[in-house]
Structure 1
Amino acid sequence: MKKFAVFDIDGTLIRWQLYHAVAEALAKQGLLDPKIHQTIKDARMRWKKRTHTDAFRDYEGRLVSAYDRLITQLTPEQMQVAANSVFNEYRDQVYTYTRDLIAQLKDRKYLLLAISGSQTEIVDKIAKHWGLDDWVGSTYTQKGGRYTGAKIVASADKAKILDKLVTEHKLSYKGSIAVGDSASDIKMLELVELPIAFNPEKTLFDHARQHDWKIVVERKNVVYELERTSGIHYWLKTI
């Protein structure tokens, strides 16, 4: 049975959140109410200033709420315009660690998968661009050429999606690898032999540390692996 590696995309391969970028692209088309857009930008600035520990969640929550209200007013054509814009801007804005890991594993004949909470319209483009074999993004239901508002969020249960992909492709968990950066990746990471917490947010970092998972940090032009030395102390090893 073939080995595989599975990647998160936003903040793991791509250096920004594609879901957020698509919402911003829709706003630039004039499709988002300016007052709501300003509220989102204000929340994003509070996060950038690190005004409180939940600033990012507050920003993201406002953005998702606005997007969910907007989606029923959009046509698939408008969504594709936004997805194309985001793809053209962000497709090569990637982390060197995950970019190089994908290339190495491809040479070793791994099947390459991705599971992302971002819209399938943009996930499709990014996954194809980077030569992945299969992928799943969040799907917004359509009926009669319009979005209904119903959605299937891929990041809600990445473990279940991964199990399905493993079964469909007749893959083996032996030698399997997963890379993710956030708490929504934990269940997926728990399934594989080599879980990699990459630039992890605090919840994932704490979980990875407790379970002795590999922790990798990329900062500017240097990639570090965090290694335990004694107790809870870590040192950085350049890789």
Structure 2
Amino acid sequence: MKQAKFAVFDIDGTLIRWQLFHAIVHELGKQGYMDETSHQKIRNARMKWKNRGNPDSFKEYETVLLGEYMVALQTIPPEQYHRAVEKVFDVYKDQLFVYTRSLLRQLKKAGYLLFAISGSQDEIVQKLAAYHGFDAAVGAKLITIEGKYTGHVESPVHRKDTALRELVSTYGASFTGSIAVGDSVSDIAMLELVAQPIAFNPEAALYAHAKKHGWKIVVERKNVVYELDHTNKGYVVA
């Protein structure tokens, strides 16, 4: 039997225009499920990033957000958490980048298997994947004991290559002609596995890696898409 081609997408900042993980944390804060001190720490770190306080301000923001979130999770009832997920899904489900939305539809029409691998919470990743017609998705799973969150998580974010290999094996797909799209360093291991890696709106480290290896680079700004293809003379706008 002929193996199917596949394409795999990161979600946050690649398909969706924002970070679903962050949006859920902020929604929990707005609904009062995080104490004001924790929520303010997150807001302060986010503002420092928005002001471009230093080159590492986004990672510092994520570190603060993750730490406060994991502490707060232990006191949040699962039903309240799921309400926050529903709210964020309703707000963000159609906030897609033009390029990746178009690519997703083209590949679906061409018969590709579509996978999504994300560091955001599995509950919203699965909902988003189903909504946009993905065949399978992997997200971060929150650990529970006796129906309560422990503050621990099993995330694919630093093992996207392993998660992708498992999906390919499960679905009997082929790496021949395969495509991957991602925007951050955590996507590099996944991108390195496929035939056609695409660095989309890449952060600096991914941009440097993509240039070194001659990967396709795509930049989207204000709904205008610039596709940069590698040639023997360097990158040119396609």
Following superposition, the deviation at residue 180 of structure 1 comes to 0.3
Deviation (angstroms), 1:227: 3.5
Q: 133, 141, 144: which is aligned to 1:142?
A: 144
Question: What's the secondary structure of 1:161's corresponding residue?
Answer: helix
TM-score (norm 1): 0.96
Cα deviation code 1:148-207 (max 9, x no counterpart) = 223111112000000001001111000100000000000000000000000000110000
- The structure 2 residue matched to 1:172, chosen from 171, 174, 177, is 174
C-alpha distance in structure 2 between counterparts of 1:234 and 1:83, whole Å:
40
- The yes-or-no answer on 1:21 pairing with 2:34 is no
Which digits, 9 at most, give the CA deviation of each residue in 1:84-132, with x for residues without a partner? 0100100001101010111000011000000000001111111111010
Matches of 1:236 and 1:210, distance apart in 2: 17
User: 1:49 deviation in Å?
Assistant: 1.0
Q: Are positions 1:5 and 2:2 aligned together?
A: no
Percent same amino acid at aligned positions?
53
1:215 aligned onto 2:217: yes
Q: How does 1:85-234 map to 2 (within 5 A)?
A: 85-228=87-230, 234=235
Partner of 1:236: 237
Residue in 1 that maps onto 2:71 = 69
Please name the residue that 1:38 is paired with.
40
Q: For residues 197 and 17 of structure 1, what CA distance do their matches in structure 2 show?
A: 17
Shift of 1:73: 1.2
Partner of 2:86: 84
Q: Report the Cα offset of residue 230 of structure 1.
A: 6.7
SS in 2 for 1:61: helix
* Paired residue secondary structure (1:174): coil
Superposed structure 1 runs of 4+ greater than 6 Å apart: none
SS of the equivalent of 2:152 reads: strand
Give the secondary-structure state (helix, strand or coil) at the position aligned to 1:217.
strand
Q: d(CA) in 2 for partners of 1:200 and 1:109?
A: 27
TM score, norm. by length of structure 2: 0.96
TM superposition shift of 1:234 = 4.0
SS of equivalent residue, structure 1 residue 154: coil
Cα distance 1:229–1:170, how it changes in 2: closer, same or farther (>3 A)?
closer
RMSD in angstroms over aligned alpha carbons?
1.2
